[in-house]
Amino acid sequence: MLVLVAPGQGAQTPGFLTPWLDLPGAADKLAVWSDAIGLDLAHYGTQADADAIRDTAVAQPLLVAAGLLSAAALGEVAPGAVAGHSVGEFTAAAFAGVLDDTAALRLVRKRGLAMADAAAITRTGMAALLGGDPEIVVPHLEKLGLTPANVNGAGQIVAAGTLEQIEALQADKPEGTRRVVPLQVAGAFHTHHMAPAVETLRKAAEELSPADPTVTYVSNKDGKSVASGAEVISRLVGQVANPVRWDLCMETFQELGATALIEVCPGGTLTGIAKRALPGVKTLALKTPDDLDAARELIAEHAA
């Protein structure tokens, strides 16, 4: 059984969309999406520097557009399940037919702007902890006033809080943790610091008419499958200020009988975690169009 997944913020790198725009129709599709959301996606995906695409308001729609563009290049795909990490859940919602591509991009554009505004209120950030036992790491983070914002599995937890709290963590890391790596993000996502963005997104979501998922949609909130389009949207709104439980999503992939996992552009992060946490599951990251043929072979072997 094939799982199709989409990465979250931080996966973008300067120029990562350049080779994808050489595919037939890709540049035109991106231009239509750019007009719909008032953001030049082609510029940010091909010419902008690292600082420009780190901006939350830019990074989020750019990542969703990249995921949709690369998935479309695969042709017809029949995954057994779809999921996304953080903002990647919007990409997954489009994969599952809950929202069309344009609606997903419009909503994520509003999300990015709202989260950028929330991040500007207090100087906050995130840091990845590599190694360590969650039963030791989580209480240590809470002692420092930090939130375990992403519980990714495979020995990785991402902490979020004020910059002062992140600095304290670097000076006093939990027992058994190998490294604390500050992330290139603009705020403490998936924490109470993002609460102002939740209400903005909730109001925007009221204008939508979501459809029920056409494939199994696995949610970051608790790793559960969600069968209602309205419930998917409700969870997309709430996850802005709630932790991402990617570890539970991967447990669900195992329970569903996953045999292969493809991560859409800019792939690499989630396949790296899956290689450690899902032994026996074949993985492939769509980094450039050169990966498409191998992905299609994997789809032919493992898709429903």
User: Do β-strands 216-218 and 81-84 pair in parallel, antiparallel, or remain unpaired?
Assistant: parallel
Active-site residue (options: 85, 140, 190, 193): 190
DSSP assignment of the chain equals: -EEEEE--TT---TTTTGGGGGSTTHHHHHHHHHHHHTS-HHHHHHT--HHHHHSHHHHHHHHHHHHHHHHHHH-S---SEEEESTTHHHHHHHHTTSS-HHHHHHHHHHHHHHHHHHHTTS-EEEEEEESS-HHHHHHHHHHTT-EEEEEEETTEEEEEEEHHHHHHHHHSPPTT--EEEE-S-SS-TTSGGGHHHHHHHHHHHTT--PPPPSSEEE-TTTS-EE--HHHHHHHHHHGGGS-B-HHHHHHHHHHHT--EEEE-SS-SHHHHHHHHHSTT-EEEE--SGGGHHHHHHHHHHH--
190 included as an active-site residue: yes
* Residue 280 CB partners (closer than 8 Å, separation 6+): 259
For 162-176, b where at least 16 C-beta lie within 10 A, e where not — what string?
Answer: beebbebbeeebbee
Active-site residue (options: 34, 70, 85, 86): 86
Annotated catalytic sites, by residue?
A: 86, 190
